[in-house]
Structure 1
Amino acid sequence: MLEILLFALVMMYSPGPVNMLSLFSGVSHYGWQTLRFCGGVALAMCTLFLLVGYIGGAMVTPVMQGVTASLGGLYIAYLALKLLIASYRPQQAANANHDMTFASGLIMQLTNPKAMIVVLPVVTVQFPNAHIEGINVFWVSVLLGLMAGGAPASYFLAGKQLKQLVLKPSVMSWVQRLMAFLMLLLAGQFLWDGVGLMTAII
Structure 2
Amino acid sequence: MLEIFIFALVMMYSPGPVNMLSLFAGVSDYGWRALRFCAGVGAAMCLLFLATGYLGSSFMTGVLQGVAALIGGAYIAYLAVKIIKASFSSQHADRTPQNLTFVSGFLMQLTNPKAMVAVLPIVTVQFPQAQVEGLMILLMSVFLGAMAGGAPASYFVAGHRLKQAVLNPTIMRWLQRVMGVTLLALALQFLYNGYLLLS
User: 2:112 & 2:171 partners in 1: Cα distance?
Assistant: 30
The aligned length equals 199
Q: Gaps spanning 5+ residues in structure 2: where?
A: none
Q: Which runs of 4+ in 1 moved over 6 A?
A: none
Cα distance in 2 for residues equivalent to 1:143 and 1:93: 37
Aligned counterparts of 1:52 and 1:93: Cα–Cα separation in 2: 41
User: Is 1:96 aligned to residue 81 of structure 2?
Assistant: no
Question: Tell me, what secondary structure is at the counterpart of 1:99?
Answer: coil
2: CA distance, partners of 1:140 / 1:59: 20
Q: TM-score, normalised by structure 2?
A: 0.96
Counterpart code for 2:136: N
For 1:27-176, list aligned pairs within 5 A.
Answer: 27-93=27-93, 96-176=96-176
CA-based RMSD of the aligned residues comes to 1.1
SS at match of 2:30: coil
**How far did 1:88 drift?**
1.4
- Structure 1: 5+ residue stretches without partners: none
* Alignment deviations for residues 97-137 of structure 1 (CA, whole Å, 9 cap, x no partner): 42211111101100000100111111111111111111110
Conserved? CA contact 1:66–1:193, under 8 Å: yes
Does 2:186 match 1:186? Answer: yes
Letter in 1 for 2:114: K
The answer to whether the 8 A contact 1:12-1:151 is kept is yes
Q: Distance in 2 between matches of 1:75 and 1:129?
A: 36
Q: Partners in 2 of 1:33 and 1:93 — Cα distance?
A: 19
Identity %: 61
Structure 1 residue 142: deviation in Å?
0.1
Amino acid at match of 1:57: S
State how far apart, in whole Å, the 1-side matches of 2:172 and 2:94 are.
11
Tell me the CA shift for residue 94 of structure 1: 5.6
